Amino acid sequence: MARHPEVSEKSIIQAGTELESAGKMPNPGAIRAYLGYRGGLMRIKSVWTVFTQKRDEKLLPEGNLELTIEALPEKYAENGSELMKRVNNALEQLILEAYQHSQQVFEKRMQSMEISQQKALKSYQDAETDADRSVAKLEDELHSLNKEVSGLAEQNANLVIGNAELRGRIAALDEHFGDKVSQQSTT
C-alpha cells in the first residue's frame, strides 16, 4: 500500500508559481525549501515538470498547411473573418470588463486602507493628545510641589533660625543660672 504524499500537487504548483512571481527560479530544491523542506525532490520535480509542460502547450497545435483565410472560398473566408471579429470583440470586452473590475477592487481596497490608516492616525493623535494632557497635568503638579517644597524650606529655615536663637538663650540662661547654682552649692 502506497503512502499518502506529504505535500499536495496544488501546494507544489502554488509554491512554484509564487517563486516565479518573486523572480526566482522554481527548481525542485527551491520549491522544497519554500514548502518548509517537506516533500520528496523527485515528486516535486515530476509535478512541477508536468505543470510547466501543460502550461506551455500551445492552445492549438501548429498546422502544416500553407493555407490562409484569404485563400478559402469566399463564404468560408467571410464566416472566418466574422468569427475572428466576434472573438476579437468578445476578448476586448472581457479585457475591458476585467480592467474595470480590477479598478473597482483596487479602489475599494484603497478606500479600505485609507479608512484604516485614518483610524490609526486618529488613534495616534488621540494618544498624543492624552500624553500632552498628562504631561501638562504632571508639570502643574510638579510646579505645585515645587512651591510647597519652597514654602517648607522657608519654614525649615525659619525654624532652624528660631532653634538657634532658643539654643543661644538657653545657653545664656544655663550660663547665668549655672553660675548661681554652682555658687550656692559651694556655700
Residue 122 domain flag: no
Residue 49 domain flag: yes
Residue 28 domain flag: yes
Does the pTM surpass 0.85? The reply is no
The domain in which residue 12 lies consists of: 1-58
- Decide: 31 and 22 in contact? Cβ < 8 Å: no
Residue 3 pLDDT class (50, 70, 90 cuts): low
pLDDT for 4 equals 66
Residue 162 domain flag: no
Residue 105 domain flag: no
What's the pLDDT tens digit per position in 56-77? 876 666 665 677 777 888 898 8
Q: Give CA–CA dist 129/137, Å, rounded.
A: 12
The angle subtended at Cα 59 by Cα 52 and Cα 65, nearest 5°, is: 130
CB atoms within 10 A of CB 176: 10
Residue 136 pLDDT class (50, 70, 90 cuts): very high
Q: Give CA–CA dist 94/13, Å, rounded.
A: 27
Residue 102 domain flag: no
| Cβ partners under 8 Å of residue 80, min gap 6 | 69, 72
